[in-house]
């Protein structure tokens, strides 16, 4: 069985697809830390990364929606308000 990933640009499209698939649990994988980012061959910069992936899984399909910056808390509240059980996970490296 092949696993596939379905990406969504809109949280409303994401929630509709989850409801159609009968999914009611979502993991919110949050990154909030400074990371070194390779800018070019000789240069590395330290950047603050603040993003979250809303992830759900069913029948070998991963449903993913990405929220960044100030939209993370808003996405969590929107999902919870729509009846989804949201579990927040830390994805920091350090």
> Over the stretch 3-44, which tens digit does the pLDDT of each residue have?
899 999 999 999 999 999 999 999 999 999 998 989 898 999
What pLDDT was estimated at residue 3?
87
How far apart, in Å, are the Cα atoms of 84 and each of 44, 75, 89?
40, 11, 15
Q: What is the number of structural domains in the chain? A: 1
Q: Which long-range contacts (CB under 8 A, 24 or more apart) does 11-16 make?
A: 11/54, 11/65, 11/67, 11/75, 11/78, 11/79, 14/54, 14/63, 14/65, 15/78, 15/79, 15/82, 15/84
Q: What is the CATH number of the domain that holds 78?
A: 3.30.720.90
**With bands split at pLDDT 50, 70 and 90, how would you rate the model's confidence at 1?**
low
Task: Provide mean pLDDT across the span 37-62.
Answer: 91
Residue 78: give the domain boundaries.
Answer: 4-90
Report the candidate in 65, 66, 64, 68 with the shortest Cα–Cα distance to residue 49. Answer: 68
Mean of pLDDT values over 75-79: 94
């Amino acid at each position: 069985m092949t696993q596939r990933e379905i990406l969504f640009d809109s949280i409303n499209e994401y929630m509709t697809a989850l409801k159609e698939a009968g999914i009611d649990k979502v993991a919110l994988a949050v990154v909030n830390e400074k990371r070194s980012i390779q800018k070019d061959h000789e240069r590395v910069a330290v950047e603050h990364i603040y993003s979250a992936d809303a992830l759900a899984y069913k029948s070998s399909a991963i449903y993913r929606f990405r929220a960044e910056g100030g939209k993370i808390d808003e996405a969590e509240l929107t999902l919870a308000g729509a009846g989804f059980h949201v579990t927040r996970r830390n994805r920091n490296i350090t």
